[in-house]
Amino acid sequence: MTKAKIDEVVEANIKEMGLGDCAENKIGNWHLRGISNGEKKRLSISLEMVTDPLILLLDEPTTGLDNALAFFVARALRSIADEERIVICSIHQPSSEVFNLFDDLLLLLSGETMFLGEAKMAIEFFADAGFACPRRRNPADHFLRCMSLDFNSQTPASSGFSMNMKTAEIKADYQVCQLNKNTNSIKWKQLSVLTHRSFINMYRDIGYSWLRIMLYILSSISAGTLYFDIRYDNGAIINRGKFVSFLFGLMVCLSCGGVPFFNEELKVFYAERLNGHYGKTLFVLANFLSSLPFSVANSPLSGTTIFYMVKLHPGFSHYGYFCINFFCCTTIIESCMMVVNSCVPNASMAVVTGVSVNVLMMMASQIFRLLADLPKFFWRYPMSYISFAKWAVEDQYKNVMTGLKFDSAEPGEPKLKGEMILKTTFGISLDHSKWWDVALLLFQLFVYKVLLLLVLRYKKRIAPQLRLSSQVLLKKVS
């Protein structure tokens, strides 16, 4: 579709759903007041109408709205149905005005069909069954009140409507149309739209973008003042190791801030995925591309503050490498949090579990013990090779130590080379370049994105089996 055609469809949907007065308003979030609940309901319907569906299924579209807003939403659905579309929705306690907008009615009680037919004939049906609707009473309220009684024991005296229509009869009366969902959609166009939408949401969400960047900068200033001008005396050797440990702990803590935003993104993705709007791969790519500008901006802002306040190394290339390492670590930690968030049911569990996983990764690095001193079982093999922190700490040590000379512990003795300190004090091997460590970090970033894709693809298939297995295990234990 051309841009003019797309704009025409959007404008038509806005007009049809009565959203013209709020078309230029933001939806709103926890810190920004936006459109009303009724407008949000109509907006969610409009999003589905963009694809011009033949059948529209809605689950309680008027829940949480007052009578006036519920009527406006129902009237918008009525106008959609008048355009030769099928609108099917569940609704609880509709007003009489809303009830009169429906063509057909299906009443269910404990999964059993109580009535299926024209809505206006339901009053006659209940009257024939001995439950006449009094005047000035809402028919919908009357039907629900009758069904709350022991209605199954009643036998209607005369009615032209079947109380238990069979599936075969329903299929004969109604033609079920299979929709071809987005088979002709262009993938790059979908990716472009998803990336742009996600970027706008990140830009507007103060907690995800600007507040986190500000906290990174403030924390970098705090780290810079704590280790200000670390120098090259003998005590600076251990202080540099402490600084690297502090830096990674800082990144793990601040990277948790993106969990609530990604949790909201997942909710939107699951809803749109059920409608077949786009695939899981496009969602993962769009999420990564939209967050990339913020990660790229954050790395030099925080990296410059820390590097030049602490005065880690005089070379500019070492500063550039420090910022690259900072970018790789923050994006990997955030990707790990996304994978965890996709596995657990809510954001609170994602924060707790995600932090625990990242701390586990840090424990298998040189932050707490030398690599050679780690227990071989689990911690050395395979955790130290899986841990991103091991490779990140290793290349950061190489970056801030190589090419420097430090004072000896005893006055008058020759200075200690940084390369020798890496081997003897920190247990860092120099048999490969620090750029290989960066390449491994980028590879781990790719692996986490693949893991996120796999979780999104197979979670709903595996979760019921795991739940059933746990229930069986609990029964055996009890």
β-strands 381-382, 405-406 pairing: unpaired
User: What's the pLDDT tens digit per position in 324-368?
Assistant: 999 999 999 999 999 999 998 888 888 889 889 988 988 888 888
Q: Which residue has the tokens 């009535």?
A: 115
Q: Is the pLDDT of residue 297 over 60?
A: yes
Q: Is the pLDDT of residue 76 over 90?
A: no
**Is-contact 370 426, C-beta < 8 A?**
yes
Task: Give 177-183 contacts, CB < 8 A, sequence gap 24+.
Answer: 177/54, 177/55, 179/53, 179/54, 179/55, 181/51, 181/275, 181/276, 181/277, 182/51, 182/276, 182/277, 182/278
Q: Hey, which of 52-56, 108-112, 464-468 has the most confident mean pLDDT?
A: 52-56
Q: Is the pLDDT of residue 456 over 60?
A: yes
User: What's the pLDDT tens digit per position in 243-288?
Assistant: 888 888 888 788 777 888 898 899 889 888 877 778 899 999 999 9
User: What's the pLDDT tens digit per position in 458-474?
Assistant: 887 776 665 666 566 66
CA 115 – CA 111 distance, rounded (Å): 12
Q: Is the pLDDT of residue 9 over 70?
A: yes
CA angle 350, 355, 357 (to 5 degrees): 95
pLDDT at 442: 94
Q: Is the pLDDT of residue 100 over 60?
A: yes
Please state, as a whole number, how many other Cβ atoms lie within 10 Å of the Cβ of residue 345: 10
Q: Is the pLDDT of residue 167 over 90?
A: no
Q: Is the pLDDT of residue 29 over 60?
A: yes
Q: What does the chain come to in residues? A: 478
Residue 182 binned pLDDT confidence (cut-offs 50, 70, 90): very low
Residue 117 structure tokens? 């037919």
Q: Map residue 27 onto helix, strand or coil.
A: coil
Q: Which residue has the tokens 């979670």?
A: 459
pLDDT at 214: 92
pLDDT at 471: 64
CA 335 – CA 450 distance, rounded (Å): 10
Q: Which residue has the tokens 């840090």?
A: 362
Question: 119 φ, ψ to 5°?
Answer: -60, -40
Q: Hey, which of 144-153, 175-184, 303-312 has the most confident mean pLDDT?
A: 303-312
Which range is least confidently modeled, 23-27, 208-212, 254-258, 437-441?
254-258
Cβ neighbourhood burial of 134 (10 Å; 0-12, 13-18, 19+): exposed
Q: Is the pLDDT of residue 316 over 60?
A: yes
Q: Is the pLDDT of residue 24 over 60?
A: yes
pLDDT at 179: 36
Q: Which domains does the chain have, with CATH numbers?
A: 3-173 (3.40.50.300), 192-477 (no CATH)
Residue 300 binned pLDDT confidence (cut-offs 50, 70, 90): very high
CA 13 – CA 5 distance, rounded (Å): 12
Higher-scoring residue by pLDDT: 369, 196? 196
Q: Which residues pair with 382 in a beta bridge?
A: 378
Conformation bin of residue 57: beta by default, left when phi > 0, alpha when psi is -120 to 50:
beta
Q: Which residue has the tokens 């390449």?
A: 439
Closest-CA residue to 125 (of 163, 180, 89) = 163
User: What's the pLDDT tens digit per position in 410-443?
Assistant: 888 889 998 999 888 888 888 888 999 999 999 9
Q: How much of the chain, in percent, has pLDDT values that exceed 70? A: 88
Higher-scoring residue by pLDDT: 180, 276? 276
Give the 3-state secondary structure percentages of the chain, helix then strand then coil, rounded to 5.
Answer: 65, 5, 30
Cβ neighbourhood burial of 194 (10 Å; 0-12, 13-18, 19+): buried
Which residues touch 281 (CB under 8 Å, ≥6 apart)?
Answer: 453
Q: Is the pLDDT of residue 444 over 90?
A: yes
CA 347 – CA 338 distance, rounded (Å): 10
Q: How much of the chain, in percent, has pLDDT values that exceed 90? A: 23
Residue 302 binned pLDDT confidence (cut-offs 50, 70, 90): very high
Closest-CA residue to 260 (of 349, 361, 358, 357) = 349
pLDDT at 165: 39
| pTM as predicted | 0.71
**Is-contact 393 366, C-beta < 8 A?**
yes
**Is-contact 344 336, C-beta < 8 A?**
no
Mean pLDDT to the nearest integer, 12-23: 84
Which range is least confidently modeled, 172-181, 243-252, 299-308, 462-471?
172-181
Q: Is the pLDDT of residue 196 over 90?
A: yes
pLDDT at 336: 92
Residue 88 binned pLDDT confidence (cut-offs 50, 70, 90): very high
- Computed over every residue of the chain, the mean pLDDT equals 83
Question: 422 φ, ψ to 5°?
Answer: -60, -40
Q: Map residue 367 onto helix, strand or coil.
A: coil
Q: Map residue 6 onto helix, strand or coil.
A: helix
Residue 197 binned pLDDT confidence (cut-offs 50, 70, 90): very high
Closest-CA residue to 426 (of 381, 376, 357, 369) = 369
